[in-house]
Amino acid sequence: MVKVRLFTAFHVPMEPLSNVLQELGYLREVKTVNKDSLHVTIIFIGEVEDGIVPMLKERLSSLHMKPVKLELNSVGAFPTQSNPRVIWVGLRGDINPLHQLRKEQEQILREMRIPFDSKPFSPHVTIGRVKERPSKGIPQFIERYVETKFGEFIVQGFRLMKSTLTPQGPIYETLLEVEAR
């Protein structure tokens, strides 16, 4: 059987982040995320047999969520600001429904005996990946935007995504879209 790499996520609009993405792009050691790929991962599932995807889609489509208003706020880095590998924008607002959605998705995956990444849910939008030893420009960039409010948006649902890794970066394909109601 063929394996596919999956995760669930919700889309993040590019408009509030356009200026910070443009400025981040000036740092030569950072590869910015494609503006059409901005998302918040709810749960990273990883590689699974493609034969289980129809049942997974059916189970995930049964989940209900209401629209959630969030604020894009602050820039940070993983694992640390002094040794960044990933640069992100944080979220504030009504995060609790997203934690509940994550728990419900975990339950479905457990019931289906599908392994998943069990790291705690840390809602953020990845905006760049550091591709070489960082310069002083990255911590300065992060410090400049550490308490910046970029704008608000409403989460209108979630998606089951397929990720195909390529040398140019990941290619994402939406396999299921579940609208908030």
Catalytic annotation, residues: 39, 124
Burial 49-66 (b: 16+ CB within 10 A, else e): eeebbeebeebbeebebe
Whole-angstrom distance, CA of residue 76 vs CA of residue 105? 27
Q: How far apart are CA 161 and CA 178, in angstroms?
A: 12
Rounded CA-CA distance 148/10 in Å is 22
d(CA 42, CA 134): 28
